[in-house]
Structure 1
Amino acid sequence: MSFIISGADNQNNAGGDLIKETTTQTFVADVIEASKEVPVLVDFWAPWCGPCKQLTPRLEQAVTNAGGKVKLVKMNIDQYPEVAGQLGIQSIPAVFAFKDGRPVDGFMGAVGEGELRQFIDRITAGEGGGVEQQLEAAETALAQDNVNEAANLFAEVLQSDKENVNALAGLAKCYIKSGDLDRAEQMLGMVPAGQQMDSAVTSAKAMLDLARKSEEAADTSELEQKVADDPADLQARFDLALALQAKGKREAAMEQLLEIVKRDREWNEGAARQQLVEFFDAWGANDPLTVKGRQRLSGILFS
């Protein structure tokens, strides 16, 4: 499985609600009234304007990436010059931001992607969410195995904050889920030295380590037979746990390791307990199976 970090696929769907053309007659409804609900950017352009052709696609992408916090309305000043004249626009491209029915900010010229993000962040300050909302949406998508969507959201955060530890770790997890373990390792290598022990990073590292072990995991049927033939074969149980985890049978894998701890908590220098902790780190502290597993492990250790 692979994924592409790009917003291009979403742009075509931005359509009616987020991005539209307006006229002199519909300007009040499309901009003035609409801006009372959510900030509206107005792109004043003309077909002959070269810089307009550079700016408009960037604007559309930036608005799409903002996830509904802002809308874009485009106005061809050749066809509808009245509003541009009222605003005193003398050169294009020109972008005005409307909020609560009035213009509050703007710029002229084909600015870059970074400046557009900053402009939108400034206009939408207090509109809810921002980076935290984006990270939350990315985590939700990842938990639902929507790897492409999660990767795009994490990448968008990194475009404005290249050292955001949650986004770096999240994108590494996307690479792990897609099977690109080398790229995941490279992504984790970009985490600043002082944040290597952040919980998001340690979780991604545990997930990566687990994925590498899973690549080497044996077939479960043979191991299941070995355990059935000799329940005291703790090495077979340990190998079976890794093989089950590789197949996505997390609870069954956990049960095998818990059984090892029950039988001999110090086996192989506590390997089963350590592997359980690695499972929990990889699954995440709030995963229901992690919570259940930690309770079970504590019950065994302190009984």
Structure 2
Amino acid sequence: MTQQPFSRPGAFDLSGLKDQTAAPAAASSSAYAVPVTEANVQQVLESSMTAPVLLVFFSRTRMPESGQLADDLTTLATEFDGRFLAGLVDIDTAPGIAQAMQIPSVPLVVVVLEGRPMPLLQSVVPLAELRAALTQVLQQLTAQGVTGRHQPRPQAAPATDGGPVVDPRYAPAQDALAAGDLDRAVAEYQKLVDSNPADAEAAAGLAMAKVLQRTSGVDPVQARTAAAEHPADVDAQTLVADLDLLGGHVEDAFNRLIELVRRTAGEDRDRARQHLLGLFAAVGNDDPRVLRGRQNLASALF
């Protein structure tokens, strides 16, 4: 399966699916997992506009191991607390979905974000390996400004209920981001951080909202030209670092500011250091690139 754009009603050809209420599927054991049926598949895909959806295609009769992968993904959906929704597609009970989405075989895990599908796994892997892979994917998405969450689904709710929405804790900030009101988004995230400094997700959201705020309306070409012409200008260098981060060039952003720390002193050096710490928070302190960046920063400082 190749990555392809999706425009409503979907990236996949779902026109052949019947608009009917399917037989109830087995209940999932996670508030962040949902059995996918022909009746709710479109709602599940639409929910990827809020946060990632991971569709896992499996068959407990044809390949029991694929059922274990579905169970493991359900477990991790709880661990990740709404960072993604696990969509469980049993091809034995929902063969029309597999056919419409042209699934070649099971197991298959597909990441869907803003309607765009991309295959992630095509084999059964141990739980620890699956956890590591998902951690890396979500860290990369966070670095690109994807910080939305799904709302917990009531365990007794039928699969045809409305799709997941943003976790209520982050709803005001996410609503502000959706409306393009970056100042309000920063203010809402700041409230969350002030009320609970240990909330790592709120801190990451605040840091990323600030990056978006600083780069709003910036001409990337002009910004990069200014940075090239003025290598010691803290404002010019930090702005390009923000642009690098948003573009997914995380290590380039970190290295730019680490070199700036090496070249500067006093207040300028401290500003560069503080800005870099903010970018670390936006990416996530557990990200290997952040760990390397902290080591390199320490070397630059001492």
TM-score of the aligned structures, taking structure 1 as reference length: 0.45
Structure with the greater alpha carbon radius of gyration: 1
Give the number of the structure whose residues are more often helix, by fraction. Answer: 1
Greater relative contact order (Cα < 8 A, sep 6+): 2
